[in-house]
């Protein structure tokens, strides 16, 4: 015990603080509880349905869980894309975490696909317009941290990129614009307008910071040093495929369940042509293109989702 007290005293003296003040403070500190630490009561109070349909609660909670998992993805990416270049062992471990989180997102879609009444959803969704899952900013932050901005521009549109192009101009070419931007008329949906009004400046700021520090470039830096191990390559490939193919495909499968397809197709709450927007074969978003063969890139996303 004496050694522990000495360590505590040394810690606070090094901080220029009086150790006795902190020790006395312990006399008045309440024991920590699970519900206070996790903020359970606050979490359980964050669901505010707009209708009386019971399954709207399922819809809200699932999306809140998704945003929390996306926060875990961003937590790992923040560590991989800031500060000194990570050691390969750290890079591998954190990429494996990215895989686990993204697999969880992909596998959990059965909560949506099989866990709500189609009849209830078809009614309460009408009260949600123009809100849309498209407006998940964390999803966009993750993309911007993972790969150069040009990789988020569909291949058929990359010829429009020119030297000296501003970041704002490049953002007008991004694949996600297709969910709410009519390139023929130049009109943007209310969903897209609201999204950009709220987040576009932060997206551009992050894209500028990531121009030389995104995950792809950091992997290439390790590879140039001869540290691009097979384990790291495999983990990055799995993360890339799960995030950009597997997860969108099960999302698409869920959209088919509730919105239909073909002639019976219903518009999404944000008004997007969701079937084309969601299918990865149309956008070919690939975070780490050098890790995939030419044939793999050419047929990206051309597989059907299995049941979640």
Can you read off the two tokens belonging to residue 44? 């359980």
**Is 33 inside any structural domain?**
no
Res 4: pLDDT: 92
The alpha carbon of 165 is separated from its chain's Cα centroid by a whole number of angstroms, namely 26
**Is 97 inside any structural domain?**
yes
**Is 290 inside any structural domain?**
yes
CA distance to 65, 213, 239, 301, per residue, from 103 (Å)? 14, 25, 8, 16
The alpha carbon of 295 is separated from its chain's Cα centroid by a whole number of angstroms, namely 27
Cβ neighbours, 10 Å, residue 161 = 13
**Closest among 49, 74, 190 to 137, alpha carbons compared:** 74
Going by the DSSP 8-state scheme, the letter that residue 166 receives in this structure is -
**Closest among 93, 99, 136, 75 to 288, alpha carbons compared:** 99
Res 291: pLDDT: 97
Q: Residue 161: which CATH number? A: 1.20.58
Overall domain count for the chain: 1
The pairing of beta strand 187-188 with beta strand 181-182 = antiparallel
Helix, coil or strand: residue 211: coil
What are the pLDDT tens digits along the chain (308 aa)? 899 999 999 999 999 999 999 999 999 999 999 999 999 999 999 999 999 999 999 999 999 999 999 999 999 999 999 999 999 999 999 999 999 999 999 999 889 889 999 999 999 999 999 999 999 999 999 999 999 999 999 988 999 999 999 999 999 999 998 888 887 888 999 999 999 999 999 999 999 999 999 999 999 999 999 999 999 999 999 999 999 999 999 888 888 888 765 444 455 554 445 566 678 888 889 999 999 999 999 999 986 544 33
CA atoms of 64 and 148, how far apart (whole Å): 28
**Is 8 inside any structural domain?**
no
Res 84: pLDDT: 96
Res 254: pLDDT: 86
Res 270: pLDDT: 46
In sequence order, which residues have a C-beta less than 8 Å from that of residue 238 and are 6 or more positions away? 99
Ramachandran region, residue 164 (left: φ > 0; alpha: ψ -120 to 50; beta: rest): left
**Is 6 inside any structural domain?**
no
**Closest among 231, 206, 187 to 96, alpha carbons compared:** 231
**Closest among 287, 259, 284 to 271, alpha carbons compared:** 259
β partners of residue 182:
187
β partners of residue 200:
none
**Is 43 inside any structural domain?**
no
pTM: 0.90
β partners of residue 188:
181
Going by the DSSP 8-state scheme, the letter that residue 173 receives in this structure is T
CA atoms of 281 and 303, how far apart (whole Å): 9
- Domain housing 264: 55-298
pLDDT tens readout for residues 22-58: 999 999 999 999 999 999 999 999 999 999 999 999 9
β partners of residue 181:
188
Across 261-273, b (16+ Cβ under 10 Å) vs e yields eeeeeeebbbbbe
CA atoms within 13 A on the CB side of 35: 3
The alpha carbon of 179 is separated from its chain's Cα centroid by a whole number of angstroms, namely 17
**Is 12 inside any structural domain?**
no
Decide: residue 185, CB within 10 A, 0-12 exposed, 13-18 middle, 19+ buried: exposed
CA atoms of 159 and 266, how far apart (whole Å): 33
**Is 192 inside any structural domain?**
yes
């Amino acid at each position: 015990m004496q050694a522990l007290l000495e360590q505590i005293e040394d810690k606070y003296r090094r901080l220029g603080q009086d150790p006795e003040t902190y020790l006395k403070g312990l006399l008045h500190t309440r024991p920590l509880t699970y519900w206070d630490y996790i903020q359970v009561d606050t979490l359980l109070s964050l669901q505010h349905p707009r209708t009386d349909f019971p399954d709207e609660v399922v819809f809200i909670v699932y999306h809140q869980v998704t945003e929390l998992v996306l926060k875990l993805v961003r937590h790992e990416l923040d560590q991989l894309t800031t500060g000194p270049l990570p050691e390969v062992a750290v890079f591998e471990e954190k990429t494996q975490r990215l895989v686990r989180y993204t697999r969880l997102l992909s596998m959990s879609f059965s909560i949506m696909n099989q866990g709500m009444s189609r009849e209830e959803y078809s009614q309460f969704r009408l009260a949600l317009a123009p809100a849309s899952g498209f407006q998940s900013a964390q999803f966009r932050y993750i993309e911007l941290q993972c790969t150069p901005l040009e990789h988020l521009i569909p291949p058929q549109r990359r010829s429009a990129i020119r030297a000296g192009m501003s970041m704002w101009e490049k953002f007008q070419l991004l694949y996600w614009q297709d969910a709410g931007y009519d390139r023929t008329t130049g009109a943007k949906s209310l969903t897209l307008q609201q999204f950009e009004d709220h987040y576009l400046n932060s997206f551009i700021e992050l894209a500028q910071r990531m121009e030389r520090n995104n995950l792809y470039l950091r992997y290439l830096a390790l590879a140039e040093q001869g540290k691009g191990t097979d384990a790291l390559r495999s983990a990055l490939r799995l993360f890339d495929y799960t995030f950009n193919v597997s997860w969108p495909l099960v999302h698409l499968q869920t959209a088919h369940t509730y919105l239909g397809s073909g002639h019976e197709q219903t518009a999404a709450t944000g008004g997007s042509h969701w079937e084309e927007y969601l299918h990865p074969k149309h956008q070919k978003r690939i975070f780490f293109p050098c890790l995939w063969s030419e044939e793999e890139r050419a047929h990206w996303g051309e597989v059907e989702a299995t049941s979640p």
